[in-house]
Amino acid sequence: MAENPKSGSGSSILWTLLSFVWLALAGYAALFVAPTEKTMGVIQRIFYFHVPSFWTAFVAIGTTTYASIAYLKTRAPKWDWLAVSAAELGAVFLTIGLVTGPIWAKPVWGHWWVWDPRTTSTFVLWAMYVSYLLLRTLVEEPERRALLSSVVAVFACLDVPLVYFSIWWFRTLHPQPVIGDGGSLDPTMGKVLLLCWGAMVALFLLVVRQRYRLEKLRAEVDGLRMEAERRAS
Amino acid sequence: MSTGFSVQFENIEKRFGMRLALRGITLSISPGEFVALVGANGSGKTTMLRIAALLMRPSAGSVRIGGEGTESPRAIHARCGMVSHATLLYDELTAQENLRFFARLYGVTSVEQTCATALERVGLAERARDLVRTFSRGMRQRLSLARAMMTQPRLLLLDEPATGLDPEGQSWLGNEVARVRDAGCTILMSTHAHGEVQSGVTRAIRLEAGSVAEDSGESGDLRGILGRVGPERVLRPENPGRGER
Amino acid sequence: MSLGRATGLIFAKELRVELRSRELLSTTLVFVLLVLVLFSFTFDPSAMEARRFGPGLLWLAFLFAGSLMLQPSFVRERTNDTLSALRMAPVEPFAVLLGKLAANALFLFLVELILLPIFAALYDLAILPVLGRLVLVLFLGTVGLATTGTVFSAITAQARLRELMLPLLLFPVLAPVLIASTEATVGLLSEEPYLDSVWLVFLVVFDAIFLTAAWLFGEYLFEE
């Protein structure tokens, strides 16, 4: 029943190495290969991590939603393990995005934070994920916790397009000086961006896998404890 | 006279997080049986009743309610009554309003008549327009029973219904339950109390730590099992003429 | 029993229970009034500012009211385990949800209607010419608030720290409603009042989506 430790760690060591190599390559590319942006200078390079972190967060959100629906249908605990793993990672990547934003914005545009469509929508998304994770800590029984958080995840997912649309339309009606990367993208920049995104997704998959295995092991320990209890009586 | 439902537990298991409340229970209860479920607190009686009521999903195994009119869970619910530890009543409504609400919800045909009769039967006719909040524990219990029985159930689930009732109340309860049993209803009742409430019991099952320890359906020792109810104190005044431990 | 009839019965029960005690309506009213008044003298807006920011504050106050008012709906059913009684009744779970949702929406709507003239007086806004359309916006926004709020209150009733958890879950998800309702209200209270059809349709869409979601996923909320 337990995963064969040897094969488990074999493939994950490979994946870990691969991810870190990829990340290193991406970092190098972002810092040295990509051309320096005309107006913003060196600080602009943070863009190569700022933007993909949101894209990765969306992958996480999609995963959590899919896993939540799968749980509601099948009630197999593995879907709940996947949902929480992806949600935690999603929250982390959103946080990275929300933190790198001001770091980039302050030297370039003079403000730490501005409520433009992207920041507002992302913040709302981040709040939804944090509240999902908080709810999980407040429900003790695993089956109940999985059920309730799955429903919340589905509702949150349904809300995402509505959040984006409403905020975008609001800004269309009340335009503000645009902050962000306007204009076309230099092809090299585009390639570096994709490379960085790839690295982040690799990292995402790596960490989700580990987190999933942690949940699985926890459930196995609980199962063993109950089995012992059953045998003892 | 319509027959009661049959209840079949197949390898029922119920987990609450880390705690295993029911371990692989397999039982078959025939229509019209009056089953007394006995056991210490925490032995799984309430869990079993809630699973039979289709309120709780078992973690493993299945429960099947059989008989005429059991095509869907909703159809089963229409002819299933429950009295539990909690009163299942709205404190802010009057006795009459509570009964009317549930009667309508169950699709009872002549609501006023049924409610009036039910209140009469449990001796609460004069208190019909009083808020349940003002009722004593015994009165609430009686109203709760009225609510469960007014829909003419074919399966009646009682979770320690004599708790908080004085000897008169318990004797009254015994009569009411016997009446329902005579009408053919299947009754599953968890109990601590001795004597009155248990007249008419056809089968006794003792649960211990989530498993069936004894079943008079197999051993034939009905009296013995009932007598071996645990050493907990029952919530009622001392009755010197009873001669029990 | 049809969904409509079952919902109606539960709706009537909710109304009767609340009208008996009236505690929820009165406390919510006072709370929202306090919030509006506090906003008013903290910001002390000029006429143009009042037109621009007033609606936002109004809807914020309604949002706060909602997160308080929606809590008891399911928590009350736990005291005597009447929720089990409802679950055992031969009605579909969605009827219970819908009945409560309708009752919550009605209570919130009543509170809003009572506070609307007070709001207009405090911020010196002309609501009479646009009253009909304003009430429509109020209604649509309230339905959205009540729908998500009722579903989430069923969820938080089963969690610890529920008073804190409900607003935490509710506010991000209701951000679109807040924006849409506020903007629609601003449009109606501007110097040349107009009803922004985009926001109106948006609110209808929001309500439809979440009512459908409540219908599809509602039964999972009551499982044991």
Q: What is the pLDDT of residue A118?
A: 79
Taking only residues 53 to 72 of chain A, the set having a beta carbon closer than 8 angstroms to any beta carbon of chain C reads 72
Q: How far is CA C130 from CA B18, C39, C62, C140, C191, in A?
A: 59, 23, 19, 16, 11
> Is residue C130's pLDDT more than 80?
yes
- pTM (predicted TM-score): 0.88
Pairing of strands B211-215, B203-208: antiparallel
Cα separation, B111 vs C22, in Å, equals 27
Pick the CATH number of B6-79+152-242 from 3.90.180.10, 3.90.1170.30, 3.40.50.300, 3.40.190.10: 3.40.50.300
pLDDT interval class at C50 (50, 70, 90): confident
Chain B partners (3+ C-beta pairs within 8 A): A, C
CB < 8 Å to A226, chain B: 15, 18, 20
Inter-chain residue contact C17 with B93, CB threshold 8 Å: yes
For testing contact with chain A, the best of C74, C156, C158 (most A CBs within 10 A):
C158
What is the 8-class DSSP label of residue B195? G
pLDDT for residue A71: 95
pLDDT at A180 over 60: no
Closest approach of A89 to chain C, Cα-based (Å): 19
From A210, A202, A183, A196, select the one nearest A8 (Cα to Cα).
A210
The token pair that represents A34 in the structure block: 């990509």
User: CA A22 to CA A36: how far, in whole Å?
Assistant: 22
Among C165, C169, C220, the residue with its CB nearest the CB of A147 is: C220
Task: Count Cα neighbours of C191 within 13 Å in the Cβ-side half-sphere.
Answer: 3
- As a whole-number percent, the residues of chain C with pLDDT over 90 amount to 54
Question: What's the confidence (pLDDT) of residue B215?
Answer: 86
- Out of C155, C205, C210, closest to residue A151 by CB: C155
Q: Residue B7 pairs with which residues in a beta bridge? A: B29, B65
Across the interface, whether the CB atoms of C1 and B105 are under 8 A apart is answered yes
For position C102, what pLDDT does the model report? Answer: 96
Residue A6 has pLDDT above 50, yes or no: no
The residue-averaged pLDDT of A30-47 equals 70
> Does C13 contact B50 at a Cβ distance shorter than 8 Å?
no
Distance CA A62, CA A204 (A): 13
The torsion angle over the Cα atoms of residues A147, A150, A152 and A158, rounded to 10 degrees, is: -140
Interatomic CA distance for residues B205 and B225, integer angstroms: 7
Query: Percent of chain A scored above 90 by pLDDT?
Result: 34
At residue B184, the pLDDT reads 87
The total number of residues written for chain C in this structure: 224
Over residues C8-18, mean pLDDT: 94
Task: For chain C, list the contacting chains (3+ Cβ pairs, <8 Å).
Answer: A, B
| Contact (CB<8Å) A226/B23 | no
- Backbone phi and psi for residue B160, each to the nearest 5 degrees, phi listed first: 45, 60
For chain B, which residues make up each domain, given as ranges? 6-79+152-242, 88-151
Contact A141/B16, CB-based, under 8 Å? Answer: yes
Nearest to A89 by CA among A162, C159, A81: A81
pLDDT of residue A154: 95
Q: Which long-range contacts (CB under 8 A, 24 or more apart) does C48-51 make?
A: C50/C123, C50/C124, C50/C125, C51/C125, C51/C186, C51/C189, C51/C190, C51/C191
pLDDT of residue C201: 94
Helix/strand number for chain B, H first, E second? 8, 9
What is the Cα–Cα distance from C165 to C175, expressed in whole angstroms? 16
Cβ distance of B89 and C80 shorter than 8 Å: yes
Facing residues of B203 across strands? B35
What is the per-residue pLDDT for B188?
Answer: 93
Q: What is the ipTM of this complex?
A: 0.89
Instruction: Determine the 3-state secondary structure of C113 from DSSP.
Output: helix
Pick the more confident residue, B178 or A62.
Answer: A62
Residue of B61, B58, B52 lying closest to B4 (CA atoms): B52
C194 inside 8 A of chain A by CB:
no
Note whether C32 and C115 are within 8 A (CB): yes
Interface subset of C 60-89, CB within 8 angstroms of B = 79-82, 84-89
Residues whose CB falls within 8 Å of the CB of residue A94, separated by 6 or more in sequence, listed in order: A53, A54, A57, A122, A125, A126, A129
The residue in chain C having the minimum alpha-carbon distance to the alpha carbon of residue B51 is C224
Say yes or no to pLDDT of C2 above 60.
yes
Check residue B238 and give its pLDDT.
44
User: What are the strands of the beta sheet with B155-159, ordered from one edge?
Assistant: B80-83, B155-159, B186-190, B34-38, B203-208, B211-215
Q: Tokens 């909703």 appear where?
A: B74
Of C172, C175, C205, the CB nearest to A131: C172
- State the pLDDT at residue C24: 84
Interface mutation vs chain B, best among A74, A136, A139, A141, most B CBs within 10 Å: A141
Reported as half-sphere exposure (CB side, CA atoms, 13 A), residue B180 has a value of 35
For residues A196-217, average pLDDT? 89
Instruction: Give the pLDDT confidence score for residue A190 in this predicted structure.
Output: 78
Which pLDDT tens digits describe chain B residue by residue (245 residues)? Answer: 568 899 999 999 998 877 788 988 999 999 989 999 988 888 889 999 999 999 998 988 989 998 776 778 888 899 999 998 889 999 999 999 999 999 999 988 899 999 999 998 888 889 999 999 999 988 898 899 999 988 889 999 999 888 777 888 778 888 888 888 888 899 999 986 555 456 778 888 988 888 888 888 777 777 777 776 544 433 344 444 443 33
Q: What is the pLDDT of residue B194?
A: 55
